Structure 1
Amino acid sequence: MKPIKILYLVAAFLICNSCNNLDLKPLDKLTADAYYKTAAEFDGAMFAAYSSIQDFWGTSTETLGESGEFWKITDVVTDDVSAQPGADNISKDADHLNIRASDKPFAAIYTQLYEGIYRTNTVLEHIDMENELTADEKKLYTSEAKFLRAFFHFEALKLFGTPPIVTKTFKDLTQLSVPNATKDQLFAQILGDFNDAFANLPEVWGDENTGRATKWAAMAYIGKVNIWKGDMPAAITAFEDVINNGVGHAGKYGLIDTDNPAKDLEDVFAFDNENNKESIFEVQFGGPHSDDNVWVFDDTHSESFKASQGTGRSMYWDASNFEATETAPGGKNGWWVPTQDLVDQFEANDARLNAFIYQAGDTYYIWNSGVESLPYDPLWSETGYVVKKYAGQRNSVGGDFSGNNQGNFNNERTFRFSELKLLYAEALLAQGRAPEATTQINDIRDRAGLGPLPGVATLADLQHEKRVELCFEGHRWYDLVRWGLGPTIFPTDWDDKFNVYPFPQSEIDRTKGTAGEIKQNPNY
């Protein structure tokens, strides 16, 4: 049991609970200034900021009608994933790179990013006000809030290119918007926040706070941001610090590698092995509870008090029914499936293929108020394949599913040590240090049951290894854009405007004519 998961869920409730300390004043009289006093109240505010990350994969019938929107613009758009005929129209359009500023995913993710930024800024502003925090507690909450503010701004940069930098909450009704920032301004802000976070965050938290941002997660992100910035020497310095000195909840970071590739790869994504030695930063999900309907997972839903945070991963990714005479068990939508092109990238004897993808000859497992298993039918999928990563026999357990079988609670592995090693290899290659990069890549190949590269690593080797290792984890689109591979991968559908996504049209309209007007990215 992870106590922090429960704490995430009660962030919104702490305001209500604190009424006992406020002589039961009516809730409409409870101001933010009256709330931010104790460490427990600052904890609640921090957990609310974390919950904005949980909402990336949310499903809501009330706000924008989200249906796992983040997956659509990070995975479905890539050559790794295909949208099934039964998928929603946004998924089908994303699959063919029909991208519009009015599309739901951009409004949903933009809202969640800046909601998270707002929540971190609220914490930072109240730390400087009258409260009961000790000097050490102020340093801790300041560092944690800056980590998350940097995380949200970095995600916004990767998606939109020149998003606004927001470092304060708005109090003047005539100034409620911020214009685009430049890339240089964004990198300076993001790296500044991550460096401040590194200075004062703990190396690890106690078991009751597993999953909160740590010093070494901050340094890992400093390395990653510098990759995007193109400062490879700075990235190498940061990654080497993490590799040599970094520790997480499970001790010193490293690959799970016991020379049993099938089990090792299963261990990485197992529900009963969250926050393992490969975990640099992962999104903590709660549950299960009695009313975990996927449409109340989003913490902006009016009924969110009835449920805990989770995702609809099983609903969107598990098998449905394409042309099979026997329907896939579990009643899932099965909107998104692996492509043949991705499957073809796996080398012979690469254990990752069997660990990450269901195919003919496999036994298929699903939790449906109990474990169901039967021979996998390729006709459940248009391509013949279904995603197995985060699923499989080990994860077909009651704890990973809500009581109505609709939601999942397995943590999202947002930043893994294997990704760090591959980013490190990329930076080494860029600096002409190919033999050292080869070692990093071969470590990951060895864990997958493969032999070493036949020679010194090339950028193509790195790109191949990253694709098969991190498939379905939301990295492929950013890499295609960053490496300039769009025209090669999508020769008929590619447009150079896709190097950045459009800002939501709603934000363009809302800020038009104001001092903080956001300019749309070109050609959208």
Structure 2
Amino acid sequence: MKRNIIVMKINKLLLLIISILTLTGCSDQLDLQPLDRLTVDTFYNTRSDFDGAIFASYSSIQDFWGTSTETLSERGEFWKITTMITDDLSANNLSNVDQAARDADALIVRAADKPYASIYTQIYEGIYRANLVLANLDGENELTAEDKTVLGAEAKFLRAWFHFQALKLFGTPPLAMEIITDINSQALPNSTQADLYTAILADLGEAASGLPVSWDSGNTGRATSWAARSVMGKVKVFQEDWAGAITDLGNVVDSGPYSLMPNYSDNFSFLSENNSESIFEIQFGGPFSDDNIWVFDDTHSEDFKASQGTGRAYYWEARVGLGAPGRRGLGWYVPTQDLIDAYEPGDSRLAVTVIQEGEMYYAVNGGATVEAPFDAAWSDTGATPAKYFGQENANPSNYSPNLGATFNNERWFRFAELKLLYAEALIRGSGDQTVAEQQINDIRNRAGLPDLAPGSDLLAAMMQEKRVELAMEPHRWFDIVRWDIGAAVFGGDWDPKLEVFPFPLSEIDRSNGLLNQNSGY
């Protein structure tokens, strides 16, 4: 989604004022006139207005990886609790890794820690913004019936998507299905998992029915009906509704528009965003770009345009202070030897995922690409992440002018993952095992590996492929939890309470006892 829309020029202050007006029921006593006298009553009028409002919900996803010195002092918090915390990565002891990342690496999780407050806030901000759209669709406006159907379906996709993230992270988070206008009754209680799954799947069902199968090039990245069907299938895998998952995921595999990219590396290249393997992708813009219509600069001042990218290069690139080329790399995240050892000989994904000694390392300094053979002394594991990096991505146009951000999209849900989810549902749900095996072999063959040997344990093979295919993407932790392999992966460091994260202490305090903390925190 990289086109200019005038409504996206509305700055963060206007969004805040709109939120306040809605929360207070647009009281006549609140006599605020934002900017050019735009109010909630006049804002939700044209299709462009509603597009701008729905993009605000998308922008809350970008903030998962946001950097700020003005709110909670975020430093890409979502990476810490979905990737650093896994057996794929560790904190680089040769770098000045922040304490929250070190704690996640050590499985130290506390209710007062910054990552949980940050992500909880972004999730419910995104839900709130989706609910704002839904609450205003039936007011006086210029929308056609088709507009209302599509926008309502899109808002419900986003509301379901955010609730699903909250369920995976916190177990029994609140279910927020409407705007609460009473400022004194903002707190919500825990929901049950049964109610959460019911609401999520209902929203996704309406999204699948109401969204288009594709968008024009000016709206690339917006959710489609196929994306909704895909997420619905994934939700059912987590719910262990194997029959439902087989139906939904099988429909996408057999009839959907997705296909595996010829080269695994295509999925992480700045030059091949939104490709045929991408089901849902987090969009980032270019330098100083208000052309990225997901962006409201939520975690920093409006003039800090680097916030429109992701800090992946800043936190993940090899540490410049240890001699690595480039300008800004901190080298916080380094692959574990356990991850490297998980790859079979001949697996082409290893070189796309991990850079090891002697392999060429690329970065950006000034306006030029720089390179040097990787030196194992730059990392305490002797390796550094390669996924989302490499020569194609060390492109100055992929970096903000201060080199603090890159604009390569985050690939959230890929067709390769869906095929492995389909295989899992077939295996666990006693479906067609030949079809399940084919899904696994499709993934292996692209990586240059042969078909599974006859008689292979398909469940173990699926779990193995999922780890190496999706290494360092935000899925491994949730697989560890739902497969109940925490003790096998982490040994004596595992604590069963980690099956869910704590609700932020700040939210517990604000709820005045309405929101109950997860056990053990």
User: TM-score if structure 1 supplies the norm length?
Assistant: 0.91
Paired with 1:254 and 1:233, the residues of 2 have a C-alpha distance of 23
Q: 1:334 aligns with which of 318, 331, 334?
A: 331
8 A Cα contact 1:158 1:478, kept in partner: yes
Q: Distance in 1 between matches of 2:296 and 2:2?
A: 18
Instruction: Give 1:266 shift.
Output: 1.9
Give the match for residue 364 of structure 1.
Answer: 361
Matched, 1:511 2:519: no
1:76 aligned to which of 84, 95, 101: 84
Paired residue for 1:204?
214
Equivalent residue number for residue 277 of structure 1: 276
Q: Indicate the residue corresponding to 1:149 in structure 2.
A: 159
The unaligned stretches of length 5 or more in structure 1 are: 248-252, 258-263
Distance of aligned partners of 1:6 and 1:361 in 2 relative to their CA distance in 1, 3 Å threshold: farther
- Alignment of structure 1 residues 137-286 onto 2, 5 Å: 137-247=147-257, 253-257=258-262, 264-286=263-285
Query: Where does structure 2 lack aligned partners over 5 or more consecutive residues?
Result: 19-31
Q: Given the two structures, how large is their TM-score scaled by the length of structure 2?
A: 0.92
Aligned equivalents of 2:140 and 2:218: distance in 1?
27
In 1: Cα distance, 2:136 partner to 2:124 partner: 18
Q: 1:470 aligned to 2:470?
A: yes
CA contact (8 A) 2:325 2:363 kept: no
Q: Counterpart in 1 of 2:63?
A: 55
CA contact (8 A) 2:189 2:516 kept: yes
Q: Deviations over 1:430-478 (max 9, x none)?
A: 0233322111000000000011111244211111100000011110000
Quote the Cα distance in structure 2 between the aligned partners of 1:10 and 1:457: 55
- Alpha carbons 2:325, 2:372 under 8 Å: kept: no
Q: Distance in 2 between matches of 1:53 and 1:159?
A: 15
Cα deviation digits, residues 482-520 of structure 1 (max 9, x gap):
00011111112111100000000000000014xxx1100
In 2, the alpha carbon distance for the partners of 1:11 and 1:97 equals 41
Q: Distance in 2 between matches of 1:434 and 1:185?
A: 32
Aligned length in residues: 498
Cα separation, partners in 2 of 1:135 and 1:15, compared to 1, 3 Å: farther
Q: Identify if the C-alpha distance between structure 1 residues 220 and 26 changes in structure 2 by more than 3 Å, giving closer, same or farther.
A: closer
For residues 309 and 31 of structure 1, the distance between their equivalents in structure 2, rounded to whole angstroms, comes to 26
Runs of 4+ that moved beyond 3 A? 4-16, 24-30, 304-308, 326-329
Alpha-carbon separation, structure 1, partners of 2:172 and 2:50 = 31
Per the TM alignment, residue 5 of structure 1 is displaced from its structure 2 partner at its CA by 8.2
1:335 deviates by 0.5
Q: Distance between the aligned counterparts of 1:457 and 1:286, measured in 2?
A: 44
Structure 2 partner of 1:343: 340
Question: SS at the partner of 1:27?
Answer: coil
CA distance in 1, matches of 2:426, 2:155: 31
Residue 184 (structure 1) shift: 0.4
CA distance in 1: counterparts of 2:193 and 2:466, whole angstroms = 25
Q: 2:520 aligns with which of 515, 519, 523?
A: 523
Q: Is the 8 A contact 1:290 1:307 kept in 2?
A: no
Quote the residue 1:411 is aligned against.
409
Verify the 8 A CA contact 1:297 1:307 in the aligned structure 2: no
Separation in 1, partners of 2:61, 2:167 = 15
- The alignment's C-alpha RMSD in Å is 2.3
In the other structure, the counterpart of 1:440 is 439
Q: Percent identity?
A: 53
Give the secondary-structure state (helix, strand or coil) at the position aligned to 2:493.
coil
| Structure 2: distance between partners of 1:15 and 1:518 | 30
C-alpha distance 398-13 of structure 1, shift in aligned 2 (>3 A): same
- Give distance in 1, aligned partners of 2:390 and 2:5: 26
> 8 Å contact 2:328–2:404 — kept in the other structure?
no
For the Cα contact (< 8 Å) 1:8–1:48, is it kept in 2? Answer: no
Contact 1:4 1:210 in 2 (8 A): no
| Matched residue, 2:26 | none
8 Å contact from structure 2 (residues 5, 48) kept in 1: no
